[in-house]
Amino acid sequence: MSNGHSTEKLLIKVITDLSDFLPYLVLVGGWVPYIYAKYIWGNVKNLAVTTSDIDFGVVFIRHSKNKGTIASCVRKLGYGEHHESMDRPIPFVPVVKSKEGNEKADVEFIVDLKPSKYMKEKLIGKEIKINEIKHFNLLLESITKISIVGQLVQIPTESIFVFHKLLTFIQRENKEKLRKDLYYVYYMLRFCPRKDRLIENVKSLIKDKGEGESVVVNIQKYFSNHDSEGPIFIEQENGSDYFIDNIREDAYKKITQLLG
């Protein structure tokens, strides 16, 4: 198995730097499949990471032990900053950099619509840009914890991650990000060592959640056959594959089985 992605050291740095805030943060986005493959599943030959950005969902819990905010913490540690405009210093997106300065990644914080004043001002800090995404709290309903460099990091469970991606990928205006979301779904269904359990859990979410009907519609629209948009996008993102001859067909079968 590969030792890891070259930018993983940036993720490790952020986890270490924000250790006091980890009880209120859930790692989401493209790093989730990587974390499962490397730290939980094991023996996965393909540790593909298609992102360098580090995304955290924020859990609404009042904190009493921390001093200061995430904004004050990253500024104290000398993180870089991305600003929405040159003449506005806030809000900013923190930028973590390697010691050599040759690698960097944005650190994004995401909430459902309308974050509370307490979360915005006392936990994250009003200086940091907060991304508001519809249905995001659904992703935080089921989480698990994994130890990384001695820190307990929260991530979504396998099934809720897959379900949420299948619900929200169509919201992407950027086709590249849409392709990545579908690839993450395929990756999870392909490499999870307990595939049957994952499939059944996602089926249960589709049946029990009010958003399940939208997931079904999305799958039917993008995976009507193995040459439709969904399988093509996954093939493009996956690239050539030593183990599977026809990625489109494999992607079509893996994702449409969630409807059975």
Give pLDDT tens digits for 46-105: 776 667 799 999 987 665 555 689 999 999 999 999 887 777 788 999 999 988 878 999
Q: Of 97, 100, 110, 169, whose CA–CA distance to 136 is shortest?
A: 110
Domain residue limits, the chain: 1-156, 158-260
pLDDT beyond 70 at 4: no
User: Residue range 164-180: average pLDDT?
Assistant: 94
Looking at residue 65, what is its pLDDT? Answer: 59
User: Using one digit for the tens of pLDDT, what is the confidence trace for 146-166?
Assistant: 999 999 999 999 999 999 999
Looking at residue 1, what is its pLDDT? Answer: 37
Looking at residue 242, what is its pLDDT? Answer: 86
Q: Provide the pLDDT confidence category of residue 118 given band limits of 50, 70 and 90.
A: confident
- Identify whether the C-beta of residue 156 lies closer than 8 Å to the C-beta of residue 142: yes
pTM: 0.93
Q: Of 123, 5, 127, whose CA–CA distance to 56 is shortest?
A: 123
